[in-house]
Structure 1
């Protein structure tokens, strides 16, 4: 359970009160750093990750964009729209001339929230006390992120040893339900049960299963009284991430945490403690279903994780696909 703070929820805690004395990586890689804990993923770490490739199996862990059953996204964001603008009918109607030689083509475009699919958050996506990751002023977000945007992460890429923990299976469920909470004891207990060791600099991947309920229940039921299950804040959990030097947290939920912490009454404290303070990159809305099924079958829970978001200038996040290679 989360660590008690001595405050009541009615007191409307400030994030700075909750995280007073929490560890920070600001300045660890210089005053101009914008990729945070990804600095732990050195060449040596990439080679360590490559040693997890023992079978040659490849899995992609991105959600389908434009799923006819619905795209999992934060309530209030508009669904993704893909539109075909040129097709065979364009030529039949005379809207498009055939190219010299007789070739024809089709074309389309997409309108979407950059964080309405499998994506990385930029380190400047969330802040408190008017400071982004590494101490950049929150005014750097005006009109687009001038610091700690998604672009430095996209240019760098993310490659390391991934470890998948099936938290839903550990709790004896296909998927965790609204209000189900996870703490450090659950992470360590699941790893022990699966027989996998979490090592320093691993990319931690958690299968919660919750987003799959969207396709089972339908949007009306799924989004009613919306409250994602998942990790909840404790000082012990944050310190573990700090000591283990985790570079990236990936889950198959929209927020990588329970949004409104039930014990301390603040919203997205782990975004603030892990992303804003420690520079840990958040990979959200993953789909670990096929990978988890295979891991249960062969008992190998580690793999080479590789991903890079689209290179979108000044963006707060960007879509990506994940390669998990066993």
Structure 2
């Protein structure tokens, strides 16, 4: 089994210094697409060359409609049209239903828009946080990705590296560990890539049951963001929250969210699931693929439910 990465705590000064090292220059622009600017047309064309077998795999978990310790506000689902007992044996009827959900919960797969993280009174790039109004976000909303995100996806499987089924709540992944996972899997993360980091959250939840993951979960150590900054990663996704809990930073509960979204302009994908993706990667003999992410066109929203698709 590989040794576990060291996860030192950071004081406020050390975190500020890290923020400065990984942050993009401030623009304050409402149309700033952040790190998505690294996904140029030529990179999309190159990513399309990842398609060889035509196999497709969802990276999303099923939307949950029942409460649990990590999901006190589950998505609501009710039928509004014809159902058993009301169906006319002749003529036309429609089955219909209604959904509502908390986009940023701790169970359902979702995308965080660049307006999601307010830090020191600003949004990414120095945009004024007052642009987030009671009617919605007027700047840096999910509308920035209305045309979708298409690029090369790369999965780094940290439990596989460590020789365990999953990381335990509270464990954190370092930059060095991401580099070692690359080497072990024979892949390299590059500029404009969609990086997916598996910590095994979904498998643990399936096998042991849900727990209060708001206070205890595996994730990236803030220092791991230097790896993403160095490689020019466009999007970061995980089968957990990306952030570990408890936090490694004094006074900042979600340091990876602050660094990724606010400092770097990296859209986050939280609570994905990779248990169907891993065996396909193993069968295909590679850990990179074409990936498409298509958020809903929600007006002025801070995020969206999402179903990323890997194509091999």
- The alignment's C-alpha RMSD in Å is 2.6
Summarize deviations over 1:231-257 as a string: whole Å, max 9, x none.
1112xx33332231110001111x212
Summarize deviations over 1:49-83 as a string: whole Å, max 9, x none.
01111211111111111366x68x9x465011211
1:80 aligns to 2:106 (yes or no): no
Supply the distance in 2 between the matched residues of 1:88 and 1:167 (Cα, whole angstroms): 45
Supply the distance in 2 between the matched residues of 1:248 and 1:62 (Cα, whole angstroms): 15
Equivalences for 1:8-19 in 2 at 5 Å? 13=12, 17=16, 19=18
Distance of aligned partners of 1:88 and 1:127 in 2 relative to their CA distance in 1, 3 Å threshold:
closer
Q: Which residue of 2 aligns with 1:232?
A: 221
Identify which of 154, 157, 173 aligns with 1:166.
157
Distance of aligned partners of 1:179 and 1:275 in 2 relative to their CA distance in 1, 3 Å threshold:
same
SS in 2 for 1:206: strand
- Deviation, structure 1 residue 296: 2.0
Q: Which residue of 2 aligns with 1:95?
A: none
Which sits farther off after the overlay, 79-88 or 14-23?
A: 14-23
Summarize deviations over 1:271-298 as a string: whole Å, max 9, x none.
1112101101101111111110121233
Equivalences for 1:49-68 in 2 at 5 Å? 49-66=47-64
Identify which of 137, 147, 151 aligns with 1:156.
147
Q: Which residue of 2 aligns with 1:298?
A: 284
Identify which of 189, 209, 212 aligns with 2:180.
189
Q: Which residue of 2 aligns with 1:23?
A: 22
The number of aligned residues is 304
Identify which of 235, 240, 244 aligns with 2:231.
244
Give the structure-2-normalised TM-score.
0.88
- Deviation, structure 1 residue 202: 1.3
Indicate conservation of the 8 Å contact 1:34/1:149, yes or no: no
Give the structure-1-normalised TM-score.
0.85
Equivalences for 1:127-276 in 2 at 5 Å? 127-143=118-134, 144-153=136-145, 155-219=146-210, 222-223=211-212, 226-234=215-223, 237-253=224-240, 255-262=241-248, 264=250, 266-276=252-262
Identify which of 116, 120, 125 aligns with 1:125.
116
Summarize deviations over 1:80-123 as a string: whole Å, max 9, x none.
1211122234635xxxxx69x81121111012112342111011
In the TM superposition, structure 1's runs of 4+ consecutive aligned residues that sit over 4 Å from their partners are 2-5
Larger Rg: 1
Uncovered stretches (5+) of structure 1, i.e. residues with no partner: 8-12, 93-97
Supply the distance in 1 between the matched residues of 2:19 and 2:264 (Cα, whole angstroms): 14
1:288 aligns to 2:274 (yes or no): yes
Supply the distance in 2 between the matched residues of 1:210 and 1:148 (Cα, whole angstroms): 29
- Deviation, structure 1 residue 14: 7.7
Uncovered stretches (5+) of structure 2, i.e. residues with no partner: 1-5
